[in-house]
Amino acid sequence: MEAAVDLHIHSALSPCADDDMTPNNIVNMALLNGLDAIAVTDHNCCDNVEAVTKAAGNKLIVLPGMELQTLEEVHLLCYFQDLTSLYDFRNHMEQFYDGMPNHPSYFGHQWIMNERDEVIGSKEQALLASLLLSFDDAVELIRKFKGLPVPAHINKPSNSILSQLGFIPPESGLTLLEISHNYPLDYRQYPNCTFLVSSDAHFLGQILERKMLISVEEITKEQIFQFLSKSFI
């Protein structure tokens, strides 16, 4: 069977995302669009993933993940099988913050919310910043914590592996790549790769409809994670 997914959505925790990107708004829009699974991938953090997961209940699958920005300003998505693995990774990753505080009036709010869409805090570290971690080291770290690294929007002219490094390091073994539907890509250059189209939604109206379909035996979080994992073999 096929699962409709959108595995790159930002919540109100990302300073660049709309404050309306609350857990329940994201879940309800995803359900309205007929999606089976989403991932909320905020910049360099994951504090709203649990609230979105609780808001989704058993109506929608939420794959744990986040979007890292490496030292080279490359955006790199990472997905984990469960919340515990995501948090283990997060606890280790936060040592690579550069320590610069956010200025909400300039960059935007970084709201942490609960499953009732109440603001329960805000992230101090400026999230629109590069981690003090290289791309290669980030890929290695994600794998060490049993996560799946996926270069984000590779055909975007900024903050992508192609815009920043110019190529996909062949030794990286990265064969699952996310592409942005807003920019062209010559697929022939990447014959052995699998492509994931996601919205990179910063506003509710940008969340995908049933556009990106993946084949799974049953629609479960484990099966979706397994589908993504298979692209690395």
Name the one range near Zn ion by CB under 5 A: 44-52, 88-96, 116-124, 152-160: 152-160
Question: Which whole-number Å values give the CA distances from 101 to 9, 53, 157, in the listed order?
Answer: 23, 27, 27
Least spacing, CB of residue 66 vs Zn ion, in Å = 10
Residue pair 13/45 in contact by the 8 Å Cβ criterion: yes
Among 50, 75, 78, 123, binds Zn ion (CB under 5 A): 75
Indicate the residue among 25 and 223 with the shorter CB distance to Zn ion: 25
Among 126, 139, 152, 161, binds Zn ion (CB under 5 A): 152
- For residue 33, the Cα-to-chain-centroid distance in whole angstroms is 19
42 binding Zn ion? (CB under 5 A): no
Indicate the residue among 75 and 90 with the shorter CB distance to Zn ion: 75
Strands (DSSP E) found in 41-145: 61-62, 65-69, 75-79, 111-113, 119-122
Name the one range near Zn ion by CB under 5 A: 53-61, 67-75, 89-97, 218-226: 67-75
Least spacing, CB of residue 199 vs Zn ion, in Å = 9
Indicate the residue among 152 and 154 with the shorter CB distance to Zn ion: 152
Sign of CA dihedral 220, 90, 29, 231: negative
C-alpha 13/C-alpha 10 separation (Å) is 7
Please report how many Cα atoms fall inside a 13 Å half-sphere around the Cα of residue 209, on the Cβ side.
0
Contact track, Zn ion, 162-201, x by CB under 5 A: --------------------------------------x-
Indicate the residue among 199 and 223 with the shorter CB distance to Zn ion: 199
Strand 61-62 relative to strand 37-40, pairing: parallel
C-alpha 60/C-alpha 52 separation (Å) is 10
Indicate the residue among 50 and 200 with the shorter CB distance to Zn ion: 200
The residues, ordered by sequence, that sit 6+ positions from 155 with a Cβ below 8 Å of its Cβ are 162, 179, 180, 183, 184, 185
Contact track, Zn ion, 110-149, x by CB under 5 A: ----------------------------------------
Q: Which residue is nearest to Zn ion (CB)?
A: 75
Indicate the residue among 15 and 23 with the shorter CB distance to Zn ion: 15
C-alpha 185/C-alpha 212 separation (Å) is 17
Q: Which residues pair with 196 in a beta bridge?
A: 178
Least spacing, CB of residue 26 vs Zn ion, in Å = 14
Contact residues for Zn ion (CB under 5 A)? Answer: 67, 75, 152, 200
